[in-house]
Amino acid sequence: MSANAHLIEQANRRSLGYWILSGMFLEVPTAARVEELRRMLDGESAESGDVAELCRQLDAARFNLNDAAVAFTRHLVIGDKKHNEPLPYEAHIREGQLPGECTGQVREMMFEAGYGEIAADASSPDHLGAELRFMALLCRDENLAWAAESSAAVGRNLRLQHRFLSDHLARWAPAYCEALAERTTNGYLRAIARVTASSINDDLAILEDICSWLPPEELTPPISTETVLPAGAAQGYQ
């Protein structure tokens, strides 16, 4: 496999991983959704760690679907006011309000990447599911830029990914998810929280390594018809 083919595949796998994570925070678990997730993770159950535990909890959720749906709604939709349950929004976690400054900053970064509404089922762009979906779309755009052999587009995309993770998603989501895993008594919700926390932290380390060998930003050629992403690259995940 060529170096370029490896990077194309890596971006594709990262995109799919973020897409799966986003869906788990945007959609109440149903029988169809649990089956779909289990098929997408087929072959992962033999591995150790958070992904393997998620596979086991998906299998268990088939028989305790109502418990998983109730826990999802309690923690991620309505919040447990009795215990001051934080909601899965960056501004709510970092600023104690919604919307907040983070909300506008995240929206601006999404516009910068060529996206408007990331997730119609999220009420704010800084919802955890929406931020995870944004990363899925950025990774998809990276995949297309590698395939188009546009080093300038790749560099801009990777810097945006790194900036979004380090300034936003990775600054609040791993800690929020780790705390959620401690609060909940439901195995399904605990598993998705833990796999999300570890995935974001691992991906930040990957991006920091990749970005370390990018040329200085001031040497990146300006956007032109030769260096932009392929037509439609920033129009949505297909």
Residue 210, Cβ density class (10 Å: 0-12 exposed, 13-18 middle, ≥19 buried): middle
Give me the pLDDT at residue 217, please: 57
Higher pLDDT, 144 or 7: 144
> How do the domains of the chain map onto residue ranges?
3-215
Instruction: For residues 196-200, give the mean pLDDT.
Output: 95
Helix axes 3-26, 187-212, angle to 10 degrees: 150
Confidence of residue 135 (pLDDT cuts 50, 70, 90): very high
pLDDT 10s digits, 58-105: 888 888 899 999 999 999 998 766 667 889 999 999 999 989 999 999
Upper half-sphere CA count for residue 75 (Cβ side, 13 Å) = 27
Superfamily for domain range 3-215: TorD-like (1.10.3480.10)
Question: Is the pLDDT reported for residue 48 higher than 80?
Answer: no
Instruction: For residues 143-152, give the mean pLDDT.
Output: 89
What is the model's pTM? 0.86
Question: Is the pLDDT reported for residue 232 higher than 80?
Answer: no
173 contacts 31 by C-beta, under 8 angstroms: no
* Least confident interval from 5-14, 35-44, 94-103, 215-224: 215-224
Query: Phi/psi zone of residue 79: left (φ > 0), alpha (ψ -120 to 50 degrees), beta?
Result: left
What percentage of the chain reaches a pLDDT higher than 90? 55
Maximum Cα–Cα distance across the chain: 56
Give me the pLDDT at residue 38, please: 85
Give me the pLDDT at residue 44, please: 59
Question: Is the pLDDT reported for residue 229 higher than 50?
Answer: no
What's the chain's average pLDDT? 84
Most confident of 4-18, 85-99, 168-182: 168-182
Give me the pLDDT at residue 22, please: 94
Partners of 127 in beta bridges: 89
Instruction: For residues 205-225, give the mean pLDDT.
Output: 64
199 contacts 17 by C-beta, under 8 angstroms: yes
Most confident of 31-40, 102-111, 113-122: 102-111
* Least confident interval from 106-110, 118-122, 153-157: 118-122
